[in-house]
Structure 1
Amino acid sequence: MLRVALLAVTLFVPSIANAQALQQQQPPLEQKLVDGFEGKDFAPEGGLYYRENFEQSAGTVEFQTAVKRTGNGGLKLSVEPHCPTLNDGCSERAEIWEKTALRVPYDQGVWYGFAVKFEEPIPSGDHRYLIAQWKREIDPGADGDFSPFLALRMDLGKLFATVETNYQQPVSTGPDGKPARCGPGEVAAWARPDVNQVRILVATDPNWTTEDSSLFNSCTKAVTVTSHGNALPEPSSGWIDFAIFTKPGPDGTGHIELFANGKPIITVKGHIGHADKGLGENQYFKFGPYRAADTTDWTLYYDDFRRSSRCADVLTDGVCPFP
């Protein structure tokens, strides 16, 4: 009986290897990526890795079983004070990246899903915190520092989402330090002509106030934002499961769908992303705690990562706006 079992295993292993090889030959957009962080390392079928550099050395990654959303495990990502000073532009990160060979072309749409949980105490200061971001590749030697075309951020303990694109002249501008009062078809934005970018506020959690928008003191028509009547969940609400469709389009063809816990939050269409010289052909996603230099530790838990060209593979608890 033992010899038969061993023979069965021997015959089965090549078929698994052949399946993995076949998947690697598929275009990245056609590959479905999934990782529930159930083991002691990233799953081969998830296509994720922890990038090593100075800012990432502020972080730690732990595959653990104490805090998880589904299954038997989850990913614990933490950052600690690491930068030489608080004011030298240094950042502290514990971000998980897509493998370069699996990145999706910049002009194609793709669905991403992941769940996140904030560990107490949740930072409540006026500071730069990100929990996930989508960017365009930057060629070596390119001139400029390009912000994510979509980012999930936190400030003052409140979640918000921003979209970035190349600079456009604001429709109107409010007083310095005061939020803009935008009219129909206009969206609050932070105009940044010095870096040829404009950052647009597209979603907030229910605790967001007018004063929290003071940075966004201009109005733009670069995008249209359709609210579906649901705010972003509060960081203290427990596990938050995001499902997000991203299709950059600096020429005005961009499209984003953002769901949280199965509920539609916003649809964004218009000028999304950057079209400067020296930028690469692909978009890429990374998630994990990322902040400007700080003096305390910060921990997030992640679970249920997935990526697919099909909404139904990612939005597992909600109604897809399109296949």
Structure 2
Amino acid sequence: MTTSTIRGALAGVLLLAVPAATPLFADPLHDVLVDGFDGQDFSPEGGLYYRENAEQSAGTVTFQSAVKRSGAGALKLSVKPFCAADSENCSERAEIWEKTKLRVPYDAGVWYGFAVRFADPIPSQDHRYLIAQWKREIGPEAEGDFSPFLGFRMNNGKLFVTVETNFHDGASIGPKGGMAECPAGQTPVWLRPETNQMRALVATDSAFKPEDGAIFNACTDKITVTNRGAALPQPSSGWIDFAVLTKPGPDGDGRIEIFANDRWVVTVKGHIGHADMGLGKNQYFKFGPYRAADTTDWTLYYDDFRRSAKCEDVLTEKSLCAKLD
């Protein structure tokens, strides 16, 4: 056997011995995304990026190591005044997005995890602040401005979570100037028929008062909330590690699970998300400070992002996954 023949035979054996590499993100729904923000850029395994547009020009993104939850670093996201103070339709953002090619189907159940820490001073004004949101893709033929089907929000220095869906008739039973006192099986909701939407209040921190939820002055049986025994942590409590299952279902089969610092907060079921003409086939997640026009700087830190179809890949206390029905 010649030398060249031996080399050819060995090459063939090596090719058979080494399996073909699986392309990264070949199946976004079942791939696990992870980014600890430990370097000087987003991890290739995380699938995240900072979106450049006019609203995002109010923001800055910094990979730093002075404030972190784990690992070598964490992400610092800040917004500064950018809009005119009296502007009604201008917003200021420093949001991190999932890459478009990694978005998952709108009707799929997906687990997300992320940790957030509020920098001082924590805004305490009556104002619109978001720290994370999940939305449905909006196609060019869609008409309207669609709010996130799941939003982690803050107002008056208090943390709360809302779920959005298409408008359904509801009866206001709450006292004027306070949120509705709903019977079992119903949830306080803000009816917005002019936009074919309604927004439900599904979770709050322990400092949240009825007057803080005054706009949620109606009740709906289209969205049900099961309280699991824990309130949301307050913004001043330090690092908050969230684990969230999102499964939109505009027709009534939606489901959301929220955990904070390995404590089960709520289960939300029912009509979740939008089903209007022209909306896209995927859902997507973005996180970071987002607010209406304001006059001060605002900073948040984020760490330990993960995404997976499996609860066990996201919840730190994996035994909690077995309690889900």
TM-score, scaled to structure 2: 0.91
Counterparts of residues 9-20 of structure 1 (less than 5 Å): 19=21
Deviation at 1:322, TM superposition (A): 4.0
Show the counterpart of 2:160: 160
Aligned counterpart, 1:117:
117
Counterpart check, 1:298 vs 2:315:
no
Matched residues in 1 for 2:50 and 2:262: separation? 28
Letter in 1 for 2:166: N
Distance 2:112 2:177 in 1: 35
Which letter maps to 1:266?
V
Show the counterpart of 2:134: 134
Unaligned residue ranges in structure 2 (runs of 5+): 1-17
Match of 1:64 in 2: 64
Query: Deviations 1:78-136 (Å, cap 9, x if unpaired)?
Result: 00000134323100000000000000100110000000000001000000000000000
Aligned residue runs from structure 1 range 23-38, under 5 A:
23-26=24-27, 28-38=28-38
* 8 Å Cα contact 1:311-1:322 kept in structure 2: no
Distance 2:268 2:101 in 1: 28
User: Offset at 1:178?
Assistant: 3.2
**For residue 258 of structure 2, what is the aligned residue in structure 1?**
258
SS at match of 2:68: coil
Q: What's the CA shift string for 1:235-276, capped at 9, x where partnerless?
A: 000000000000000000000000000000000010000000
How far apart are 1:179 and its partner, in Å?
A: 2.1
Aligned alpha-carbon RMSD (Å): 1.7
Q: Identify the residue that residue 248 of structure 1 maps to in structure 2.
A: 248
| One-letter amino acid of the counterpart of residue 182, structure 1 | C
1:197 aligns with 2:197: yes
Distance (whole Å) between structure 1 residues aligned to residue 258 and residue 289 of structure 2: 20
Cα deviations by residue, 1:189-242 (Å, 9 ceiling, x for unpaired): 000000000100000000011111111011111111000110000000000000
Q: Which residue of 2 aligns with 1:186?
A: 186
In the alignment, is the contact (CA less than 8 A) between 2:174 and 2:182 conserved in 1?
Answer: no
Structure 1 partner of 2:213:
213
Q: For residues 281 and 31 of structure 2, what CA distance do their matches in structure 1 show?
A: 18
Q: Distance in 1 between matches of 2:276 and 2:95?
A: 25
Q: Any unmatched runs of 5+ in structure 1?
A: 1-14
Q: Is the radius of gyration larger for structure 1 or structure 2?
A: 2
How far did 1:172 drift? 3.3
- Name the structure 1 match of 2:100: 100
Q: Comparing 83-92 with 117-126, which one deviates more in the overlay? A: 83-92
Contact 1:158–1:207 under 8 Å retained in 2: yes
- The reply to whether residue 228 of structure 1 matches residue 223 of structure 2 is no
Counterpart of 2:256 in structure 1: which amino acid? I
Name the CA distance, whole Å, in 1 between partners of 2:215 and 2:63: 37
Q: Distance in 1 between matches of 2:89 and 2:98?
A: 25
| Shift of residue 284, structure 1, vs aligned partner | 0.3
Which is further off, 171-180 or 215-224? 171-180
Identity %: 67
Structure 1 position 239 matched with structure 2 position 239: yes
What one-letter code is carried by the residue in structure 1 that aligns with 2:79?
V
Query: 35-44 vs 85-94, which deviates more?
Result: 85-94
Letter in 2 for 1:164: E
| SS at structure 1 position matched to 2:45 | helix
Structure 1 window deviating more from structure 2 (140-149 vs 195-204): it is 140-149
Q: CA deviation at 1:165?
A: 0.3
Q: Is 1:314 matched up with 2:319?
A: no
Letter in 1 for 2:71: G
Contact 1:261 1:317 in 2 (8 A): no
Please give the alpha-carbon distance, in whole angstroms, between the structure 2 residues aligned to 1:41 and 1:51.
14
Q: How many residues align?
A: 307
The amino acid of 1:305's aligned partner reads F
Displaced runs of 4 or more, over 6 A: none
Cα drift, residue 148 of structure 1: 0.4
CA distance in 1, matches of 2:274, 2:249: 8
**Shift of the alpha carbon at 1:181?**
1.9
- Pairing 1:269-280 to 2, within 5 Å after superposition: 269-280=269-280
Secondary structure in structure 2 of the residue aligned to 1:194: helix
Question: 1:282 corresponds to which letter in structure 2?
Answer: N
Moved more, 169-178 or 272-281: 169-178
2-side partners of 1:90 and 1:284: how far apart? 22
